[in-house]
Structure 1
Amino acid sequence: MPIWGRGPKSIFVKFSASFLLVGLIPLFALSFFSVQTFSGYVERYTTSNLQQMVLYMSYNLNSAFNQYNEVSKLMYTGRYEGFIESYSQNQTQNVNELEQINTIPIESFLKTVLFSDSYISSVQFIRQSDGKMYVQERSNRSLNMETVPNAEWLSAMADDPSKVAIFPTHQDSYFYGSDRQVFTIGRSLIDTSGRVTKEPKVVGTLFLDIDTSLFQQFFRELSLGEKDELYLLDGEGRTYFSNQPAGTAGVPTAAQSNDEMIVLSESIPFLNGQVIAKIHRGNLFEQLLSARATVYIAIGICAFVMIVMGAWFSRRLAAPIRELIRQMAVVESGKLDIQLSVNSNDEMGRLAHGFNRMVERLQVYIDEAYVAQIKQKQTELNALKSQIRPHYLYNTLEVIRMNAVDKEAGEVADMILALSNELKYVIDYGEDRVSIASELAHLQNYFYIISVRYENRFELHLDIAPDVNLDWPILKLSLQPMVENAVQHGLRLQGKGTVGITVERREQVVAITIYDDGVGMSRETLSRINKILEDPEAPSKNVGMKNVHERIRSSFGEAYGLSVNSREHVGTSITLTFPVITE
């Protein structure tokens, strides 16, 4: 069955999913964060640059309007061609009688103003007294007097003659054959000589037509696209310039940026208005959006590659394990003559090699267990036979003892009874642990035989602490070898002596000390014996002592065993420790 068909229960599905999640989530998160951060930075940087450009453009536009305002003031200052006139001239006489402005013929004055700036397309002066119009036009086109909106312009300036007037963009179609887009600046010439009157004495009005191509040099730096919009508005919302076709709907004065357009605005103090630039986001960030789309496509390709690689890696990793699972099922059925092919030296190869070794060892163990079972049956049969021999021995010893009693040989009878009890205790098949009372009783039988043999030259003293429970278990036949060593190696050499045994409790430890007042041993001999006891591999002539020590540690743990202390010509003590087992 394919791994992917097993669903979430398969470890390889979980592994592949984890691998993909661990790889894809950081990839997506980092890529998205990086793209968003970079895009945000580019947008902020670009928007800030555009805002600076609009601010710089508004400053230049305001300066241009101020420049043309200063040009219109030449009627008062007379500052032209290096000549400065007095402010106290009688302009009424100059204009009405002499047809002059500042001692300059009106036509010459208008021509001077016309050619003072390349964007001034025409200059008109209308005399107030009779409405006579003086005109200078850069292309020498004829003027259609009937279409000139003089009356409208003069009416707009009548409320405040001393203030400059600016008229929004319009066509100068009042010149034959002209379709230029211009805006007009108007200023009244007021006679300031003589007495000051309540109403200003207007002598005439000067009108300057300024070609709107003036604005192109400022707006060209913005590199506007087809969908971008630009408006130059005065304080009343009238459009002085726009890159939109005529008839386009008006622009709100409080335009706000949105998802489609970036709206930037700066004030024009001269007009009491503002310049508004509406930049289409799509065109502005077209390259950025293209780069972002490229990044997202790259992320998608990487994700697809990771998914394919994860599936391939999972299937490649799962194949040998699936084979191992199949062979394990064969082993479960009882067939052990199988081997996995080892194709690599990696973890999978070592796993296959370990499986082969396991099957081989399992076959060996089964064979050994079968042989051991046969041997166990043979041992049980031998045990049944051996039980007959001790029984016969006990009966024989009992007959001899009863015969000794009958012959009034009491000591011989007691020795035979002690020997019989010794044989029963030693030959008895049972557990390796016995109670303290049983071990001490066996020890007393043994010592009785020893004392009779050596003509009662040795004595045995027992000292049992009150808090010791004689039913606590200890190791069987652990005390007799120690007493035997005390007699053979300590007391027998000096001819007589005492063997003492103390039983005490030390918290959760039962300590049994066997001591004698024999010849003792040297420091070198004591050090050698202790070293042998601590080294399980060390050979020793002290078989009984080493055997008891290893049996105690094997039965009760490494924390227990025996320790030896001795002083030459003083005696030897051996302490055996067992755990307190109350159950």
Structure 2
Amino acid sequence: MRVSGWQRIWRSVFVKFSAAFIVVGLIPLFALSLFSLQTFTDHVERNTNNNMEQMVLFMGYNLDNLFSDYDKVSKLMYYGSSNLETQGASSNRSISVNEEERINEMSIDDFLTTVLYSDNFIRNAYFVRSKDNKLYSQTKDNKSFLPDALPLEDWKIPLKVQPKQLAIFPVHEESYYKNSKIRVMTLGRNLIDTAGLITSTPKIVGTLYFDVDIAVFVNLFREMRLGNKDELYVLDANNSVYYTNKDMEEDQVFISEASNRKVLVLSEEVPFLKGQVVVRVSKSDLYEQLTSIRSTVYTAIVICALVLVVMGIWFSRRLSSPIMSVIKQMIRVESGHLESNLVVKNQDEIGRLAHGFNRMVDRLRSFINDAYVAEIKQKQAELNALKSQIRPHYLYNTLEVIRMNAVHNDDNEVADMILSLSNQLKYVIDYGEEWVTIRRELEHLKDYFYIIKVRFENRIELRCDVADPVDLDWSMLKLSLQPIVENAIQHGIRPKGGKGTVWVTIETLEDMLGITVYDDGVGIDSDTLERLNSMLHDPKAPSKNVGMKNVHERIRVVCGEPYGLNISSREHVGTSVRLLIPIRKGGDLHDDTSHSGG
């Protein structure tokens, strides 16, 4: 099945690890950041809205005070200019205005000047006498007045409807002054003659008007810091606009609107006007700083996410790089390049993996070398075996010719010796056998001892005793008796001189087979005996008794620790060597009792 590139990449454990690392990092980052940002945004919006509500409330209060103050200014016509005490009811304002052209014991022009300078934002003051519509005016600026442009007829309308109330006229330009574009709001009040009888229709002596610069509103609303998109309206009871910070058409009526996603609408009543102040704030400007903070947080989240992704990729590559090196070296080893080796830089798990890989390659190289050498040795052994098969065959034929010649000359003893020697050679040179039957081992021992008897003129005798439970077809190690018997003759009987006997007893000892070789030779002193036993149990100890040590080590290697040789002796009495091996039934039944040349 063909695997695409993306599938192969996704199957990589490092890609999965990086993806898991990034996802596990990004999800908490986004969740916590968005939750914190939303909580912070809601908190800031609530505080901002509360602050705006407090400011609008404060503006409504200030507007009410402002118009109350201007109402008091308009009532200066009824009070003294110095102590503001009420004039007597007997004072006839009609005579004072119409005949004397005075208000509050001062000329009308002086009174207008007093009104003009009673407040910094009053720009112009006018008085229209009702008797003949004579116009008196005062202004702070040296500008050309156009009396005919003054909209007195329009201003008189609300004063006729409510003659005793202060009339407030919406913001307009000073069009009655030449080349003036200044915007003002005009306030007016009738001067009523209260002398005489009170009638349903008040007797109006004249009307006071004064223009207030709209800078008073700009100064009043400065603390609100309204933006270009924000709107502010000062309304009367009929929602007619007295003042707005936007361009206003004449007789404009405000259309109420509730707050929405784009605009925050706040209002506060102005009791003096029986109206309200309305503020429409653009949320984009109001929350501009919050939007900037939100953008900064989003940018920080994106940067953190990118850093997390980069860190995940970097960490994955840092983790995968040494493992990829191991994989590359494994591919080289698979291709047969056993000289590959990894540099171990760290002692962490990756370093241990690299170290283990190097050990594996070294052992594999050693194993291959050993196997190669073993194969060469096997070939050499097979060649040597072929050679050895030729040489013994030639030797057997030669010995058989000599034996037949001895028989021909009636020298039977020599013929029997040659036959025993030939049997021994066949038994010794027969490769491939480690275990043989007890019968074959005893027959080989008898062949060997026949030559010893002839050599020493029958002075040395061999006796073999086999216990009843012992089966001669049981197995024992090949060539394990002859070296011990030879050692008994050479080091036990011969030094004594005269006749001697070697006994071989075979018996069972629990689950072991015990074979003991006795001799009645000179024996061994205690020090030498201790040294011999120590030599047998110390593999590194040198020994002159190579045959016995070889037999002991063979038994230990093949059969295990409990088995082997044990020597006991008494000086001038004799020596016994006990050989312990496991009982092995059903041994090799091959029996070479007769041999002939070929």
User: What TM-score range do you get, normalising by the shorter chain?
Assistant: 0.5 to 0.7
Task: State whether structure 2 residue 113 is matched by structure 1 residue 111.
Answer: yes
Task: State whether structure 2 residue 275 is matched by structure 1 residue 273.
Answer: yes
Aligned counterparts, 1:72-83, within 5 A: 72-76=74-78, 78-82=79-83
Question: Aligned equivalents of 1:52 and 1:195: distance in 2?
Answer: 49
Structure 2 segments unaligned to the other structure (5+ residues): 379-431, 441-466, 476-509, 512-598
Partner of 1:341: 342
Contact kept, 8 Å, 2:240 with 2:254, in 1: the verdict is no
Partner of 2:319: 317
Give the letter aligned to residue 65 of structure 2. Answer: S
Name the larger-Rg structure. Answer: 2
User: What is the Cα deviation at residue 31 of structure 1?
Assistant: 3.6
Task: State whether structure 2 residue 44 is matched by structure 1 residue 18.
Answer: no
Question: Aligned equivalents of 1:124 and 1:67: distance in 2?
Answer: 18
Contact kept, 8 Å, 2:80 with 2:104, in 1: the verdict is no
Partner of 1:258: 261
Contact kept, 8 Å, 2:326 with 2:342, in 1: the verdict is no
Partner of 2:11: 9
Question: Aligned equivalents of 1:138 and 1:75: distance in 2?
Answer: 20
Give the letter aligned to residue 258 of structure 1. Answer: R
Give the letter aligned to residue 252 of structure 1. Answer: I
Partner of 1:306: 308
Give the letter aligned to residue 29 of structure 2. Answer: L
User: What is the Cα deviation at residue 275 of structure 1?
Assistant: 2.6
Give the letter aligned to residue 19 of structure 1. Answer: F
User: What is the Cα deviation at residue 35 of structure 1?
Assistant: 4.1
Partner of 2:126: 124
SS of equivalent residue, structure 1 residue 73: helix
Contact kept, 8 Å, 2:143 with 2:177, in 1: the verdict is yes
Give the letter aligned to residue 147 of structure 1. Answer: A
Structure 1 segments unaligned to the other structure (5+ residues): 375-380, 390-415, 429-479, 482-583
Give the letter aligned to residue 254 of structure 1. Answer: E
Question: Aligned equivalents of 2:153 and 2:337: distance in 1?
Answer: 119
SS of equivalent residue, structure 2 residue 299: helix
Question: Aligned equivalents of 2:359 and 2:5: distance in 1?
Answer: 27
User: What is the Cα deviation at residue 283 of structure 1?
Assistant: 4.1
User: What is the Cα deviation at residue 66 of structure 1?
Assistant: 0.5
Give the letter aligned to residue 169 of structure 2. Answer: F
The verdict on how the C-alpha distance between 1:7 and 1:140 changes in structure 2, with shifts beyond 3 A counting, is closer
The verdict on how the C-alpha distance between 1:87 and 1:388 changes in structure 2, with shifts beyond 3 A counting, is farther
Give the letter aligned to residue 212 of structure 2. Answer: I
Contact kept, 8 Å, 2:129 with 2:207, in 1: the verdict is yes
Partner of 1:136: 138
Partner of 1:200: 202
User: What is the Cα deviation at residue 166 of structure 1?
Assistant: 0.9
Give the letter aligned to residue 231 of structure 1. Answer: Y
Contact kept, 8 Å, 2:232 with 2:277, in 1: the verdict is yes
Question: Aligned equivalents of 1:201 and 1:9: distance in 2?
Answer: 103
Partner of 1:94: 96
Question: Aligned equivalents of 1:315 and 1:119: distance in 2?
Answer: 75
The verdict on how the C-alpha distance between 1:275 and 1:205 changes in structure 2, with shifts beyond 3 A counting, is same
User: Quick one: which of 159, 164, 167 aligns to 1:165?
Assistant: 167
Partner of 1:406: none
Question: Aligned equivalents of 1:250 and 1:4: distance in 2?
Answer: 68
Partner of 1:550: none
User: What is the Cα deviation at residue 82 of structure 1?
Assistant: 2.7
User: Quick one: which of 356, 359, 375 aligns to 1:357?
Assistant: 359
**Range 137-146 or range 323-332, more displaced:** 323-332
SS of equivalent residue, structure 2 residue 72: helix
SS of equivalent residue, structure 1 residue 169: strand
Aligned counterparts, 1:125-524, within 5 A: 125-139=127-141, 141=143, 143-247=145-249, 251-259=254-262, 261-326=263-328, 328=330, 337=338, 340-347=341-348, 348-358=350-360
Contact kept, 8 Å, 1:170 with 1:181, in 2: the verdict is yes
Question: Aligned equivalents of 1:205 and 1:387: distance in 2?
Answer: 158
Question: Aligned equivalents of 1:38 and 1:388: distance in 2?
Answer: 104
SS of equivalent residue, structure 2 residue 228: coil
| Matched pairs, number | 398
User: Quick one: which of 27, 30, 33 aligns to 1:28?
Assistant: 30
SS of equivalent residue, structure 1 residue 158: helix
**Aligned-residue CA RMSD in angstroms?**
4.5
User: What is the Cα deviation at residue 326 of structure 1?
Assistant: 5.0
User: What is the Cα deviation at residue 332 of structure 1?
Assistant: 7.3
User: What is the Cα deviation at residue 337 of structure 1?
Assistant: 4.5
User: What is the Cα deviation at residue 214 of structure 1?
Assistant: 1.4
User: What is the Cα deviation at residue 16 of structure 1?
Assistant: 0.7
The verdict on how the C-alpha distance between 1:6 and 1:388 changes in structure 2, with shifts beyond 3 A counting, is farther
Q: TM-score scaled to structure 1, two decimals?
A: 0.57
Identity between Structure 1 and Structure 2 (%): 45
Question: Aligned equivalents of 1:245 and 1:386: distance in 2?
Answer: 131
Give the letter aligned to residue 10 of structure 1. Answer: S
